[in-house]
C-alpha cells in the first residue's frame, strides 16, 4: 500500500469513528444542569443580592435553600426575635400576663433609633409593648420588656445567650436586646431561622407580627400610630411575620414567615442593599417553595402518640401527646409515598423524671430509609413512688393477672 492509499484509509477510519461518535451522542439524552435548589443546596441565584440567606420549612426544620447561612454578621433588629421569644415563653409559663403593666425606666426611654417614644415612668401593658416591638421595632419597648423579665438589660441578655445555646445557635452572641450596633453582637441566617422557628411554636405571636397597623395610647391625647416595618404582611399572600432589621453596618435584613395551606416557611436574608431588593428576594424564595413543596403531617398538635411506662413512679403510665405538629417536607407529586413512622421510647425509664426530659424519639421512614427523627420529651414530672404505693400497685397487678 503506497502513501496515498494509507492516507485514504486513515481518512475513512477517522470519518467512520466521527460518524459513530455523532450517532451515539444523538442517542444519549442531553443533561442540563438544573438551577432549582434542592434541600440544603447552596444556589446563590435565589437571593443574589443578600450576603447570607436561608429558606426553611418551619414545621420540620428542613433547609430548602441556603447561602453563606452560617456566617456570623450583625443582625440589627432581627435580634428582637429572641426578645419576643423570651416574652412568649414567660407568658406560656405563667410568669407574665398580657395585662401586666411595664414601666419604662429612664434608660429604656433613652434608646435611639426605632422607638415608640416611651417617657420615663410611662406604663404600658405587656401586650402593648409586644405590639411596639413587633410592628414598630421599638428599641425602647425592647429594653423595657428586658428589664421587666430580667431585672436589667444585662441580665436579660444573659438569658438570651443561654436560650441561644440551648437552641444550638452556634454563631450567635447577643450584646443587647434590640440589635443596636455593639461590638461582638452577631448572628447568622441559620441561627436566626432556628430562633424564628422556636418563636413560631407560640402560635399567638403572629397576632402581633402579622398586623399591618395599630395604635398605642389610642384613648390618650397623644395616640401613636404603628405601621409594620415588614411590608410583606400586607403585600404577600400568607405572610404574617416576623421581623425586619437595618443598621448601616448590617444593611437591610429580614426574617419572614408565610403560611399557605399546611406549609409554613421561614426565609432569612441579611446584608441586602435596600428594602425593595430584600422584599423581592424573600418573595422569590417563598414563591419557589410554595410552588415546589408540600408538608405531609405525621401528627397534629395535641394528637395522642403513645404511652410512657415509668418504673417506680408515683404515676406508672404517662400519656404522650404531640406538643407541636410533626411533619415532613416533600416535593409535590411525591407526597406520602412509602412514608411510615415509629415511636421508639427509652427502655426502663425510672422515676424520678423531669418535665421536658428526653425519653425517646419519633422516627419517620420512607421504605427502610430514615427520613427524619423528632425528639420526644416527658410532658410532666414524675416523682418516685413510696413503698405503700408500690405495694398497692404490685398487689393490684397480681389480682389482675390470669
The cell numbers describing 99, all together, are 395585662
Of 51, 60, 67, 80, the active-site residue reads 80
Instruction: Give backbone dihedrals phi and psi of 113, rounded to 5 degrees, phi first.
Output: 70, -150
User: In terms of Cα–Cα distance, which of 196, 201, 192, 79 is closest to 143?
Assistant: 79
Of 69, 105, 137, 255, the active-site residue reads 137
Report the C-alpha gap between 241 and 210 in whole angstroms. Answer: 5
Overall size of the chain counted in residues: 402
Report the binding-site residues for substrate.
243
Q: Are 48 and 37 in contact (CB under 8 A)?
A: no
User: In terms of Cα–Cα distance, which of 8, 28, 46 is closest to 284?
Assistant: 46
Is residue 137 annotated as a catalytic residue, yes or no? yes
Give strand pairing partners of 311.
350
Q: Are 191 and 173 in contact (CB under 8 A)?
A: no
DSSP 113: S
Instruction: Give backbone dihedrals phi and psi of 138, rounded to 5 degrees, phi first.
Output: -65, 115
Of 60, 69, 77, 142, the active-site residue reads 77
The cell numbers describing 204, all together, are 399567638
Report the binding-site residues.
243
Is residue 77 annotated as a catalytic residue, yes or no? yes
Which residue in the block uniquely carries the three cell numbers 411506662? 309
Q: Which residues are known catalytic residues?
A: 77, 80, 137
Amino acid at each position: 500500500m503506497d502513501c496515498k492509499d494509507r492516507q485514504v484509509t486513515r481518512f475513512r477510519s477517522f470519518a467512520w469513528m466521527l460518524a459513530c461518535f455523532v450517532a451515539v451522542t444523538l442517542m444519549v439524552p442531553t443533561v442540563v444542569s438544573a438551577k432549582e435548589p434542592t434541600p440544603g443546596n447552596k444556589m446563590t441565584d435565589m437571593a443574589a443580592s443578600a450576603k447570607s440567606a436561608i429558606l426553611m420549612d418551619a414545621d420540620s426544620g428542613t433547609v430548602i435553600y441556603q447561602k453563606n447561612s452560617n456566617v456570623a454578621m450583625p443582625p440589627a433588629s432581627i435580634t428582637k426575635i429572641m426578645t419576643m421569644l423570651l416574652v412568649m415563653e414567660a407568658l406560656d409559663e405563667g410568669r407574665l400576663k398580657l395585662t401586666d403593666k411595664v414601666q419604662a425606666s429612664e434608660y429604656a426611654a433613652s434608646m435611639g433609633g426605632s422607638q415608640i417614644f416611651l417617657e420615663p415612668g410611662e406604663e404600658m401593658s405587656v401586650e402593648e409593648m409586644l405590639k411596639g416591638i413587633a410592628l414598630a421595632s421599638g428599641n425602647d419597648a425592647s429594653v423595657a420588656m428586658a428589664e421587666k423579665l430580667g431585672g436589667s438589660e444585662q441580665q436579660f441578655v444573659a438569658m438570651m445567650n443561654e436560650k441561644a445555646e440551648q437552641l444550638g445557635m452556634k454563631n450567635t452572641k447577643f450584646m443587647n436586646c434590640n440589635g443596636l450596633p455593639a461590638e461582638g453582637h452577631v448572628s447568622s441566617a441559620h441561627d436566626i431561622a432556628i430562633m424564628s422557628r422556636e418563636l413560631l411554636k407560640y402560635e399567638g405571636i403572629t397576632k402581633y407580627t402579622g398586623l399591618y397597623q395599630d395604635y398605642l395610647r389610642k384613648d390618650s391625647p397623644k395616640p401613636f400610630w404603628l405601621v409594620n416595618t415588614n411590608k410583606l404582611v400586607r403585600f404577600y399572600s400568607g405572610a404574617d411575620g416576623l421581623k425586619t432589621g437595618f443598621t448601616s453596618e448590617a444593611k437591610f435584613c429580614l426574617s419572614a414567615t408565610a403560611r399557605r395551606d399546611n406549609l409554613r416557611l421561614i426565609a432569612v436574608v441579611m446584608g441586602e442593599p435596600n428594602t425593595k431588593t430584600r422584599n423581592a428576594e424573600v418573595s422569590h424564595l417563598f414563591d419557589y417553595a410554595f410552588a415546589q413543596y408540600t408538608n405531609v403531617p405525621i401528627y397534629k398538635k395535641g394528637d395522642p402518640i403513645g404511652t410512657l411506662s415509668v418504673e417506680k413512679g408515683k404515676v406508672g403510665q404517662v400519656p404522650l401527646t404531640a406538643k407541636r405538629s410533626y411533619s415532613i417536607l416533600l416535593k409535590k407529586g411525591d407526597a406520602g409515598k412509602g412514608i411510615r413512622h415509629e415511636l421508639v421510647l427509652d427502655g426502663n425509664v425510672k422515676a424520678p423524671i423531669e418535665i421536658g426530659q428526653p425519653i425517646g424519639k419519633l422516627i419517620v421512614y420512607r421504605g427502610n430509609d430514615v427520613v427524619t427523627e423528632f425528639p420526644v420529651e416527658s410532658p410532666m414530672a414524675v416523682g418516685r413512688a413510696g413503698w405503700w404505693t408500690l405495694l398497692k400497685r404490685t398487689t393490684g397487678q397480681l389480682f389482675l393477672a390470669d
